[in-house]
Amino acid sequence: MSTFIDVAREIRDLGVAAGATERGLLGHGDIEKRLSERSKGISQQILQDTFDKLSAEEEIRTDVIGPEGTVLRYPRRRPRALETLFGTVWISRLGYRDRGTGSVFPLDAKLNLPLTRYSHGLQELAAWVVAYSSYDVAAEYIARSTAARLPRRQLEGIALGYVADFNAYYAEQPPVELLDQEKLEALLIVSVDGKGIVMRHEDLRPETKRRAEGATHKLQKRLSRGEKRNRKRMAEVAVIYDVAPYFRSAADIMGDHRPKNAPRPSNKRVWASVEKEAAEVLDDVMEEVKRRDPQGQRTLVVLVDGLEGQLRQMNAALKRHGRQDAVVVQDFYHVCEYLWRASTCFYNEDDPLREGWVNTRLLEILKGNSSNVAAGMARSATLRGLSKSSRADVDRAARYLLKNRARLNYDQVMKIGAPIGTGVVEGACRHLVKARLECSGARWSLAGAEAVLKLRALRMSGDWEAYSVYHWRQEHRRNYPEYKLRQVG
């Protein structure tokens, strides 16, 4: 059967529509919509004809080997449906079997047909949309933009299946070859952070679940203050990227604008996991570091926000992977917040002198004098005779500066041209996690949240197309092992 498109008829039909347009009865958008719908039908027919041709050319074989290692002697032609972007098509193919065996379909293997009803093109589109929209919106979008229908349950299954090879894909990436000086001199930046996701009760971590079960509620239909705790599971967010050294002074950093010549991050990869523990994600981070810097020649900079648990995990990971030479930097903007809060002990909220007080001390911290700033603040509070409660924010900021002074060596960090802020990973927390998984009223299953995080990570890291090719090849290996393909051309 061959596809025949009556071009004259198509033009005549569109001409009628155009005539109606002149009479003010039909707009160009109606013509456009009609043509779009018609093109789906034409594409469906072309696809059907292609499969019909392949089926007609399929010859009966006498040496197809089954899973048991025996020759399958009984061929029988069997049809199967395939839901595609253009609608449902049918594929008639030869299935070989013997007594007590399952059927083997060589044409299925040749075409890499999925085991489910839905084509690879439809599955990829579904996964793409699910990454940025709710399942209900994704189902509506697919219904409007294709000739297929995908119920919510099937969408969830497609999302889970599409990311099955996520970890393997990144584990098999080849090491980066550092062939030129520019690549060697580029700083390798790593940063991690956490972002909570509201989970179904059964998918909370054991300790959180225990606390949730022991909680009591004052009201029946509303959560009171403090009762919203113990509903989230922490997703560990990681970023790694390259950036050229950017040399600037403390005064430059305290300026009011970002210079146009500031280098942008490149080769950025972002990902997150709500399933893995923080230590496991950090191991994945360090494996990516090894891939980008196999010989440990590049300067590794680790940006942290000062959370004690995170620092312990990071230091342990650096030790496990032999990168204790890494430059660990505490986020400068967290320091700013501590200073701004401390300033309220000395000035009113809207006092113009408050800003000058903060800027003076931040400038000293950037010059490497964080201990002196801490001592000076505490001494000033004492000389002013502030009470313990009145000076609480000053003491808190002073303790913070002293406890983290080893990671506040911004004067040394600026000498190697490294960044001093965790804005990239904080942006990843917002765009990778919050923008999709903090939908109002949403409660995620562990598997569902993990799948969506991986889909978003592939899109944000620019790896979607390469991963898609890898994933369908892996699907072929899983669905059609070697013994089924010996006689397939």
Q: Which residue has the higher pLDDT, 245 or 62?
A: 245
- Do 286 and 321 form a contact (C-beta atoms < 8 A)? yes
Helices 332-343 and 392-403: angle between axes, nearest 10 degrees? 160
Q: Residue 233: its pLDDT value, please?
A: 92
Q: Which residue has the higher pLDDT, 14 or 469?
A: 469
Q: Residue 172 CA to chain centroid, in angstroms? A: 18
Q: How many domains does the chain have?
A: 2
CB atoms within 10 A of CB 94: 20
Q: Using one digit for the tens of pLDDT, what is the confidence trace for 462-473?
A: 999 999 999 999
CA dihedral 433, 439, 443, 444 (to 10 degrees): -40
Q: Which token pair is 114?
A: 């999925």
Helix (H, G, I), strand (E, B) or coil at 256: coil
pLDDT > 90 in the chain, percent: 70
Q: What residues make up the domain containing 338?
A: 334-405
Q: Using one digit for the tens of pLDDT, what is the confidence trace for 402-460?
A: 999 999 999 999 999 999 999 999 999 999 999 999 887 789 999 999 999 999 999 99
State how far the Cα of 133 lies from the Cα of 152, in Å rounded to an integer. Answer: 12
Q: Using one digit for the tens of pLDDT, what is the confidence trace for 337-394?
A: 999 999 999 999 889 999 999 999 999 999 999 999 999 999 999 999 999 999 999 9
Residue that finishes a domain, picked among 40, 57, 74: 57
Query: Is position 84 within any domain?
Result: no
Helix (H, G, I), strand (E, B) or coil at 300: strand
Q: Residue 12: its pLDDT value, please?
A: 64
Let me know the angle formed at the C-alpha of 368 by 366 and 373, rounded to the nearest 5 degrees: 85
Please give the helix or strand (H or E) that residue 92 lies within, else none: strand 87-97
Query: Is position 261 within any domain?
Result: no
Q: Using one digit for the tens of pLDDT, what is the confidence trace for 143-192?
A: 999 999 999 999 999 999 999 999 999 999 999 888 777 778 999 999 99
- pTM higher than the cut 0.85: yes
Q: Using one digit for the tens of pLDDT, what is the confidence trace for 81-97?
A: 999 999 999 999 999 98
Q: Which amino acid is at 184?
A: L
Q: Using one digit for the tens of pLDDT, what is the confidence trace for 91-115?
A: 999 999 888 788 889 999 999 999 9
Query: Is position 414 within any domain?
Result: no
Give φ, ψ of 12 to 5 degrees: -65, -45
| Mean pLDDT over each residue of the chain, to the nearest integer | 89
Residue that finishes a domain, picked among 9, 38, 57: 57
Q: Residue 106 CA to chain centroid, in angstroms? A: 36
> Could you tell me the end-to-end alpha-carbon distance of the chain, in angstroms, rounded to an integer?
23
Q: Which residue has the higher pLDDT, 119 or 231?
A: 119
State the pairing for strand pair 232-243/187-198. Answer: antiparallel
Residue that finishes a domain, picked among 379, 405, 431: 405
Query: Is position 394 within any domain?
Result: yes
